[in-house]
C-alpha cells in the first residue's frame, strides 16, 4: 500500500475535547465528498471545506511506500517528549488508513486520533475517534469519542431534526463548531444558540486559527 500524504506537521490540536494537546498532524490527500478543486465545490456533497488536501506537495507530504516509512516520518515530527500523539486527518483519512499503518504507529508509541467524515468505518485500532457528519452523506460510523458538528450548515445542510437524531448516536461528547466562512460572527451566534437550546452539546472553536498555529 502506498500512502498519499498532503502534509505533516507538529502543532497543537485546535479543535474538540483534545484541544490544546501537542500533536503530529498527518493530512492524507483526497476525499470522497469533494474533489478538492474549486470548480467542483458547488456540486460537491461537502461544500464548506476549509482545507487544501489535493496532491502530495505540502510540507512533510509525499508518497510513502510502506507503513513503516510513514510512521518513521511521523515520529520524527514528534521528536522528543512523552506521550506521542498523532491526528490522522485529510481529506478523508479512512480512505487510506489500514492495519499496517495502525500497527506501525502504535509500534512507535503513538496514541492515534482520527478526524473523519464518518462515511467509512473507523479502524477499530484508533484510540480517539472524532466524526464530523456531512449532510447528504451516509454516515456509517455512528459511535465514537466525539461528534463534531459544523454549524450552521449552508442550504441543504443538517436540520434541527438531524441534530436531534445525532443525539441518539453513540458518542461520548457532542460538539458544535462554528462554520468558518465570511459570516463568522453570525455563525458563532448560531452555534452558541444551539448549545443554549440543547445543553448536551458544547461549543468548540478552531483555536489554531486564532493562535497563528497550523
Ligand atoms: C478538513 S476536515 C478533514 C477530516 C474529515 N474529512 C472530516 O470532514 O471530518 C477536518 C475538520 O474540519 C472541519 N471543517 C472543515 N471545513 C470547515 C469550516 N469551513 N468551518 C469549520 N469547520 C470545518 C470538518 O468538519 C472536520 O471536523
Ligand atoms: N491545529 C489544528 N487542529 C486541527 N484539528 C483538526 C484539524 C483538521 O484539519 O483536521 C486541524 C488543523 O488543521 N490544525
Ligand atoms: S469531508 Fe472533510 S476533507 Fe472532505 S471536503 Fe468535507 S471537510 Fe473537507
Ligand atoms: Mg483544519
Asked whether the beta carbons of 94 and 128 are under 8 A apart, the reply is no
Mean pLDDT by groups of 10 residues along the chain of 214 residues? 97 98 98 98 97 98 98 97 98 98 98 99 98 97 98 89 97 98 97 98 97 96
Residue 190: all three cell numbers together:
448560531
For 28, residues 6+ apart whose C-beta sits below 8 A from its C-beta are 3, 4, 5, 6, 53, 88, 89, 90, 91, 92, 93, 95, 96, 97
User: Which residue lies with its CA nearest to atom 8 of ligand 1?
Assistant: 117
Q: Is 51 a catalytic residue?
A: yes
Cα 159 from Cα 149, distance rounded (Å): 11
Instruction: Please enumerate, by residue number, every residue annotated as part of a binding site.
Output: 12-14, 27, 31, 46, 48-51, 89, 91, 132-134, 177-180
pLDDT at 153 (0 to 100): 86
Q: How many separate domains does the chain show?
A: 1
Supply the DSSP symbol for 121.
Answer: P
The pLDDT of residue 1 is 84
Q: How many helices (H) and strands (E) does the chain have?
A: 5, 9
Phi then psi dihedrals of residue 186, to 5 deg: -60, -40
Range of the domain at 192: 3-211
Interior/surface letters 39-74, b for 16+ CB within 10 angstroms, e for the rest: eeeeebbbbebeeebbebebebbbebeebeebbebb
With a 6 Å cutoff on the Cβ, whether 68 touches ligand 1 is: no
Task: For ligand 2, pick from 8, 13, 211 the residue to mutate: most ligand atoms within 8 Å of CB.
Answer: 13
Q: What is the CATH number of the domain that holds 159?
A: 3.20.20.70
To test ligand 1's pocket by mutation, which of 5, 23, 47, 51 has the most ligand atoms within 8 angstroms of CB?
A: 51
User: Do the Cβ atoms of 115 and 175 come closer than 8 Å?
Assistant: no
Q: Tell how far the Cα of 11 is from the centroid of ligand 3, in angstroms.
A: 20
Look at the pTM and tell me if it is higher than 0.95. Answer: yes
Backbone angles phi, psi at 175, to 5 degrees: -125, 145
**So what's the ipTM on this one?**
0.99
Amino acid at each position: 500500500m502506498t500512502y498519499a500524504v498532503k502534509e505533516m506537521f507538529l502543532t497543537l490540536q485546535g479543535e474538540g475535547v483534545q484541544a490544546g494537546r501537542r500533536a503530529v498532524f498527518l493530512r492524507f490527500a483526497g476525499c470522497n465528498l469533494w474533489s478538492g478543486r474549486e470548480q467542483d465545490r458547488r456540486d460537491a456533497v461537502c461544500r464548506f471545506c476549509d482545507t487544501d488536501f489535493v496532491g502530495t506537495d505540502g510540507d512533510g507530504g509525499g508518497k510513502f511506500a510502506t507503513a513503516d516509512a510513514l510512521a518513521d516520518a511521523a515520529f520524527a515530527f514528534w521528536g522528543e517528549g512523552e506521550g506521542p500523539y498523532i491526528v490522522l486527518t485529510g481529506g478523508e483519512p479512512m480512505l487510506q488508513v489500514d492495519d499496517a499503518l495502525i500497527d506501525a504507529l502504535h509500534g512507535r508509541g503513538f496514541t492515534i486520533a482520527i478526524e473523519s467524515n464518518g462515511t467509512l468505518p473507523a479502524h477499530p485500532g484508533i484510540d480517539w475517534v472524532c466524526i464530523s457528519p456531512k449532510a447528504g452523506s451516509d454516515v456509517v460510523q455512528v459511535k465514537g469519542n466525539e461528534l463534531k458538528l459544523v454549524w450552521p450548515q449552508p442550504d441543504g445542510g443538517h436540520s434541527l431534526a438531524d441534530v436531534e437524531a445525532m443525539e441518539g448516536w453513540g458518542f461520548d461528547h457532542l460538539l458544535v463548531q462554528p462554520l468558518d466562512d465570511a459570516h463568522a460572527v453570525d455563525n458563532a451566534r448560531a452555534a452558541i444558540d444551539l448549545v443554549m437550546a440543547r445543553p448536551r452539546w458544547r461549543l468548540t472553536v478552531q483555536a489554531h486559527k486564532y493562535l497563528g498555529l497550523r
